Amino acid sequence: MSGKIRPVINTDVTHLKEVVDSSELFPSEYLDDMMTDYFQNPDTEDIWFTYVEKNTPVAIGYCVPEKLTVGTYNLLALGVKKEFQGRGIAGEMMQYIEQLLKHKEARILIVETSSHPAQHAANHFYPKMDYTREAVIRDFWSEGEDKIVFWKKTSQLTRSLYLIFLFRPFLRVSNSVPKNRFVTNGKNRSYPMPGKMPPRGAPLQGKVY
């Protein structure tokens, strides 16, 4: 592929909103608030990165250190613009963040998914990529929908050369409910949110393949 991966810059935001909408990652109106600390705080630990094709961002990734831990990071979001899905971009994005975390001397990278049938393929794929299915928290997202946590040590990071994500469009906004409420699987789910930011712990992975 002819693109490159780099940290997000201010001029990327408009294109990244298109990526977020196309991949059904989360409502793009939240992106500005989500990235405030990244752009305004010189000491931020947030990691926003993008895949750029012909000077245009076509993918987005978001990773943060877990609070009250030493060297544990959480990949909170990964999405690829619809017309660029299926080209291996997500795999390259994962290699990028894994290598970056190794340079940061991180110990662990986790990814949180759901037990919903639409994430069946993703939940079976992570073990093939050396991610261990470390925990299941029953009924976490909603009644009958568990949180699944995948875990990988930094000593294992970047071991795999190719990664395929098959995520459902997990979060979307319905015009029939307030904008501070997401609709998941056809059921309203309210979250306490500061301003217009999505919930901190929600799995924000979008369609990437």
**pLDDT at 178 exceeding the cut of 90:** no
What is the domain count for the chain? Answer: 1
pLDDT band at 199 (very low <50, low <70, confident <90, very high): very low
Residue 168 exposed, middle or buried by CB count within 10 Å (0-12, 13-18, 19+): buried
Hey, what amino acid is at 23? S
Predicted pLDDT of residue 47: 98
Average pLDDT over residues 35-55: 97
Q: Could you tell me the CATH number of the domain that includes residue 21?
A: 3.40.630.30
Q: Is residue 197 part of a domain?
A: no
| Domain presence at residue 203 | no
With respect to residue 146, please indicate whether it lies within any of the assigned structural domains: yes
Give the residue numbers spanning the domain of 146. 4-190
Is 133:159 a contact under the CB 8 Å cutoff?
no
Note whether residue 37 is domain-resident. Answer: yes
Angle of CA points 174, 182, 140, to nearest 5° = 145
Residue 209 lies inside a defined structural domain of this protein: no
Residue 49 maps to a domain: yes
3-state secondary structure of 27: coil
Asked if residue 207 belongs to a domain, the reply is no
In Å, how far are 12, 163, 175, 184 from 91, measured between CA atoms? 21, 4, 34, 26
Q: Which pTM was predicted?
A: 0.74
pLDDT at position 181 over 90 = no
What's the average model confidence in pLDDT over 94-116?
A: 91
